[in-house]
Amino acid sequence: MFRSNRRTRRAMFTLLAVLALFLSACSQKMRDQPKLNPDEATTLLPGGTASQPIVADTVPRGYVNDDVEFTTGKDASGQLVTEFPFPITKQDILRGEERFNIYCAPCHGHVGNGAGVVALRGFPGPPSYHQDRLRNAPVGHFFDVITNGFGRMPSYANQIPPEDRWRIVAYIRALQLSQHADVKSLPAADQQQLQKVQSGG
């Protein structure tokens, strides 16, 4: 019993040793293959270095700007657009609400009055969206602010893709309406309800 155990163990050991040899040889080969490290000096390539400059006008994947209004909020002549570049559905507004609450509410507050927790804790207070200047601002302005930042507010272009930026703008429009709705624009039933509340009934 003891002897056979020892034999098995020896066989296992040999097997492992052989495997280790093979495996290390394999990794060794990959490590030692001929290659150039970044910025390594070489006579093979122009400029004498392994790293080559990016070809002019190279556009990284996902950054193709083939629809100027959609990706900048401005038309070809540089004017801020006044209409959304795609039809806004309820789903878009709901997605905009979700994104707004993640990216903007911390500073701008959940209703966009500028009283987010970050502002309450000392960050320069953002303006309220509920003022005539911003109510009358074209949708392209909001898109442009998210894309390029505005004064002390940083750009959110890297965190928020253009589709979602437009959805956030749509939600800001909904927020503006929520704080500045005309009674006459409400459905008749809601108008009656409101009158009841106001007359104390």
Q: Which residues bind ligand HEC (CB under 6 A)?
A: 103-104, 106-108, 118, 123-124, 126-127, 142, 145-146, 150-153, 156, 160, 168
Q: Which is nearer to ligand HEC, 70 or 123 (CB)?
A: 123
Structure tokens at 151: 């004064």
Q: Is 84 or 156 the residue whose CB approaches ligand HEC more closely?
A: 156
| Closest by CA position to 51, among listed 39, 43, 60 | 39
Residue closest to ligand HEC when measured from CB atoms = 151
Q: Among residues 42 and 125, whose Cβ is nearest to ligand HEC?
A: 125
Toward ligand HEC, which CB reaches closer, 49 or 138?
A: 138
Q: In this structure, how many other beta carbons lie within 10 angstroms of the beta carbon of residue 99?
A: 22
Give the integer Cα–Cα distance in Å for 76 and 69.
7
Report the alpha-carbon distance of residue 105 to residue 73 in Å, rounded. Answer: 22
State the minimum distance, in angstroms, from the CB of residue 72 to ligand HEC.
Answer: 16
Lookup: tokens for 54: 């990016």
